[in-house]
Chains A and B, each alone.
Chain A
Amino acid sequence: MTNHILTVENLRARFQTPDGEVEAVNDINFHIDPGETLGVVGESGSGKTQIFLAVMGLLAKNGKATGTVRYKDKDILNIPSRQLNKIRGVTMSMIFQDPMTSLNPFLKISKQMTEVLVEHRGMSEGDALKRAINMLDRVGIPGAAQRVHMYPHEFSGGMRQRVMIAMALLCDPEVLIADEPTTALDVTVQAQILDLLRDLKKDFNTAIVMITHDLGVVAGLCDRVMVMYGGRIVETGTVRDIFYDSHHPYTEGLLKSMPRIDTASEEHLFAIPGQPPNLQNLPKGCAYQERCAYVMDRCCVSRPGLFGFDDGRASACFREDGQ
């Protein structure tokens, strides 16, 4: 028996397009335990969002997911949406960079929040409203009792983000998937939202998936990290492993190219040469070969699998192969 709350095995997501099939998500395996925060990092287009849209049954119509997704012991990949709705937004919630993805612009916040509670928790309207106000208060919205009656557009960007988080937390989810929730926000507001997520973990043992391209956010919040490149996991490890003992050349490059606020600058920033790969037109072999400082002949012939080299550690690079 494990106590994994979410288990993903051999997950793939494919999109059919007029220009052919896009292999956006490939051979993804991971799990997450209660109270744990998993960071998912990588450049835009590396497949971060699609993994979790597949998990939540929210892929676009031209997309199809295969593999296994288990919420506790229950298989949830491709189950009918009537069944999925008992989990989605209730015990497993997802929040996005753009809060308007989850908010209805034409409905007052009060209506949007109480609806969920009345339906999934069988609460009375009155109790639901109390809980909604409570939740807005918890996420740091001043004057929640009045503002619960406002429309989404009446909130500032940072406040709208909090409203979305409050909505996602209404039913005390066991898993919160946060997809770049602070990318569009100022650092000052980002710091407030990150504190909120830390409290959630501490007070409710909520499992959190933090999808981000900001390694600073990962450093402050996450326990384990999954680095994505070209639709695949290229490295996994604890947050300390990734920051102090990275193995994959892409992870190393990403860490080196981050300008840091706590150090005086060198003449040149380290830059990873070239462009992120186009998933529709991946090279044969390793997806990172064109940008890799360690590229070998075999990297251009075959694709490295994910080599495990320690407990919970793996890197998709022939340098781990020891041959």
Chain B
Amino acid sequence: MNAIRKKKNVPILSVRDLKVHFSLPGKGFFGPERKLKAVDGINFDLFPGETLGIVGESGCGKSTLGRAILQLIPPTDGQVVWLGRDIVGAPHREMQPLRRDLQIIFQDPLASLNPRMTIGEIIAEPLVTHKPELGKDEIKARVKRMMARVGLLPQMINRYPHEFSGGQCQRIGIARAMILEPKLIICDEPVSALDVSIQAQIVNLLQELQREFDLSLIFISHDLSIVRHICHRILVLYLGNLMELADRDSIYAAPKHPYTKALISAVPIPDPEIERTKERIVLTGDLPSPINPPSGCVFRTRCPFAKDVCATDVPSVDTINDQHQVACHFHERM
């Protein structure tokens, strides 16, 4: 059991059988409407102070899952239990106060900031919306304090986003997300667009904030090296389905799902000797279309271990121990 669970075993968030199906127009004028199952029945818990990584190739449903949790995309089915209460379908009036605790930061820092607002206004906006009673001076003081905390010079408060580098824009996004002292931040590829040296700065900042404020984080990324560094547990997604969910050490030291194994072995290691001699599982082809996913195990068209049964039977999500779940007919042999 990891330390975080031992300490606080009441989840802050429970996601149950969550589905997001997009309706697409049919082929041709009279074709039947088609369903794109972006998220297709996901279950997990998140504990206070924990970082859960969500990984998988692009298009596998990571962002949709993150947004559906925050009710930014309405789920098709399932539950999102936040602090003991299902928030799926909650009316706007009830969601509004919860939004204080639930924040998100995005991959493209500049594009996610309003170019016509000063960074002071951008960071203050959530406070103005949720705590207008604080008054102008207090809001300004809090904004400056938060700017200093995330490594921005408070005297830059009246500058505009385009005057900042990518790394600094991400700090602005983090300050805005942190200003209400939320309980959960969903980070959707927050460092994917940044240079290596800047990535490390932002990851360190997120980890410090997490400790200081007992934050829970959902860290969406396609970079499995960063995820290994920052996440306590990792959920591996493929075509909207959970393939594996386990604590960090199990995922990296003893992955049980062929997709997890392939993802990990594809990450280049910055050491010529190790990189040139390591064992690799090379996947062929691309992600199949989620409009017409493979029968049985959704991964079977690219799985090097697939057998006949994989085409007919959907593997159940088996629990290996209370820290490790895997959806593969043959996980015992992996």
* A residues adjacent to B (C-beta < 8 A): 43-44, 140, 142, 156-159, 186-192, 194-195, 213-220, 239-240, 243, 253-255, 257-262, 264-265, 268-273, 275-276, 291
Instruction: Tell me whether B90 is interfacial, beta carbon within 8 Å.
Output: no
A49 to chain B, nearest CB (A): 14
- Interchain CB contact (< 8 A) of A271 among B165, B200, B275, B283: B200
Closest residue of A by beta carbon distance from B205: A271
CB distance A43 to B195 under 8 Å? yes
CB distance B274 to A275 under 8 Å? no
CB distance A216 to B269 under 8 Å? yes
A271 to chain B, nearest CB (A): 4
A80 to chain B, nearest CB (A): 38
CB distance B224 to A257 under 8 Å? no
- Interchain CB contact (< 8 A) of B197 among A240, A254, A264: A254
CB distance A259 to B226 under 8 Å? yes
A251 to chain B, nearest CB (A): 11
B252 to chain A, nearest CB (A): 7
- Interchain CB contact (< 8 A) of B274 among A187, A262, A273: A262
Instruction: Tell me whether B133 is interfacial, beta carbon within 8 Å.
Output: no
Instruction: Tell me whether B264 is interfacial, beta carbon within 8 Å.
Output: yes
Contacts of B266 in A (CB 8 A): 187-188, 190-191
Count B-side interface residues using an 8 Å CB cutoff. 44
Give me 14 A-to-B residue pairs in the complex whose CB atoms sit less than 8 angstroms apart, sorted by A's number. Answer: A43-B195, A188-B263, A191-B283, A213-B196, A219-B269, A243-B271, A243-B272, A257-B196, A260-B269, A261-B224, A261-B269, A270-B200, A272-B197, A275-B167
A215–B199 CA distance with the chains assembled, in angstroms: 14
A273–B222 CA distance with the chains assembled, in angstroms: 25
- Interchain CB contact (< 8 A) of B276 among A44, A220, A255, A275: A220
- Interchain CB contact (< 8 A) of B272 among A213, A239, A270: A239
Instruction: Tell me whether B57 is interfacial, beta carbon within 8 Å.
Output: yes
Closest residue of A by beta carbon distance from B195: A43
CB distance A216 to B197 under 8 Å? no
A226–B35 CA distance with the chains assembled, in angstroms: 49
A103 to chain B, nearest CB (A): 18
A189–B267 CA distance with the chains assembled, in angstroms: 11
A276–B197 CA distance with the chains assembled, in angstroms: 9
18 more contacts with CB within 8 A, not counting A257-B200, A261-B252, are: A43-B195, A44-B195, A187-B268, A188-B266, A189-B286, A191-B280, A215-B270, A216-B267, A219-B270, A259-B199, A259-B228, A259-B229, A260-B270, A261-B224, A264-B252, A265-B229, A268-B207, A276-B198
CB distance A261 to B196 under 8 Å? no
CB distance B285 to A261 under 8 Å? no
Known: A191-B280, A192-B282, A254-B197. A220 touches B249 (CB 8 A): no
CB distance B285 to A142 under 8 Å? yes
Closest residue of B by beta carbon distance from A240: B272
Closest residue of B by beta carbon distance from A278: B165
What per-residue 1/0 map shows which CB atoms of B205-246 lie under 8 Å from chain A? 001000000000000001011101110000000000000000
Closest residue of B by beta carbon distance from A189: B286
B326 to chain A, nearest CB (A): 19
A99 to chain B, nearest CB (A): 14
Closest residue of B by beta carbon distance from A190: B266
CB distance B268 to A214 under 8 Å? yes
Closest residue of B by beta carbon distance from A186: B57
Known: A188-B263, A220-B268. A269 touches B196 (CB 8 A): no
Known: A216-B275, A265-B229. A271 touches B269 (CB 8 A): no
A239–B229 CA distance with the chains assembled, in angstroms: 25
Instruction: Tell me whether B58 is interfacial, beta carbon within 8 Å.
Output: yes
CB distance B197 to A271 under 8 Å? yes
- Interchain CB contact (< 8 A) of B284 among A157, A192, A194, A275: A192
A187–B286 CA distance with the chains assembled, in angstroms: 11
Name the residue in A159, A214, A262 with the highest tally of chain B Cβ atoms < 10 Å from its Cβ.
A262
CB distance B197 to A253 under 8 Å? yes
B212 to chain A, nearest CB (A): 14
Instruction: Tell me whether B323 is interfacial, beta carbon within 8 Å.
Output: no
Contacts of A253 in B (CB 8 A): 197
A192–B57 CA distance with the chains assembled, in angstroms: 14
Contacts of A217 in B (CB 8 A): 268
Contacts of B230 in A (CB 8 A): 265
Contacts of B283 in A (CB 8 A): 188, 191-192
A43–B193 CA distance with the chains assembled, in angstroms: 12
A254–B272 CA distance with the chains assembled, in angstroms: 15
CB distance B203 to A269 under 8 Å? yes
Contacts of A269 in B (CB 8 A): 200, 203-204, 229
A259–B219 CA distance with the chains assembled, in angstroms: 15
Contacts of A157 in B (CB 8 A): 58
Instruction: Tell me whether B76 is interfacial, beta carbon within 8 Å.
Output: no
B176 to chain A, nearest CB (A): 20
